[in-house]
Structure 1
């Protein structure tokens, strides 16, 4: 199964549309915060694609969406967060520990605006970067997990 992973659009819905339209056969859209008012637009524009998202540090006006979310996708446990509450700009230790504590296979985060794919302690750490410039594709198959950063 294939997921499109984005973060930090900061109101640039056109960038989100460009990413979605660039990929085929998306089973899930995952957004790691700082989505601002784009969440409703994503749900309306792509009603047939499931959508998971969390709040970021610039999403202060929304009350009913969590900052962290743990869910399963294609048999893998995914911990989704924006990252600001785990001080990811100073390093990934705290976030990696949280992902380990919740037994995540994959940890998706944003906030730094810097794309990253790194496996640490058996956990795939994935930051798609800023949605104005990049996104990630996460493929989960019987043979394993593959993540790729793509430029817009």
Structure 2
């Protein structure tokens, strides 16, 4: 069993990323930032996060995409702008198949969403700075269990949003 924190599109916020790291450092095994941090890699606020480059990350130093693993599941991490995620997940689906990913984490649209396509979970944690489609500034924790993935959605303040919790059989 393992827990993974996923955040995206913080657009220059530092204190909030530090608070998330401190708040969850004891209970998560992996922290993922799906791009548009707008912070240089050496910034202490982004320390400890597996981070990719978004379309607003101009300092460079981050990969466009990367892979990670937790609890035997393979994560593909990208910002999403190079996969046209605002219009379709099809390009991302093909990439997930190509790299044998079980879970795809992406951002870019600032819209919180999770969807299983085939046997792959596609997750956008929303934005902790400029959410779209809802008022709450969100991030997600995935609880990776044997046959299930439990998704819990939090506001940046740390308040859980129970009606958005979901379980996926994967």
TM-score of the two chains, using structure 1 as the length reference: 0.86
Figure out how many residues of one structure are paired with residues of the other and give that number. Answer: 146
2:59 to 61, 79, 94: 61
Q: Deviations over 1:105-150 (max 9, x none)?
A: 0000000001111111110001000122110101112343222222
User: For the Cα contact (< 8 Å) 1:13–1:38, is it kept in 2?
Assistant: no
Q: Which runs of 5+ in 1 are unaligned?
A: 45-49
Tell me the residue number matched to 2:12: 11
Q: Any conservation in 2 of the 1:16–1:131 contact (CA below 8 Å)?
A: no
Quote how far apart the aligned CAs of 1:19 are: 3.1
Q: Which runs of 5 or more residues in structure 2 are unaligned?
A: 130-136, 157-170
Tell whether 2:33 aligns with 1:31: yes
- Equivalent position SS for 1:71: strand
CA distance in 2 between partners of 1:66 and 1:84 (Å)? 13
The Cα shift of 1:12 comes to 1.2
State the superposition RMSD in angstroms.
Answer: 1.8
Q: Does 1:145 align with 2:146?
A: no
Q: Which has the higher contact order (CA 8 A, sep 6+)?
A: 1
TM-score normalised by the chain length of structure 2: 0.78
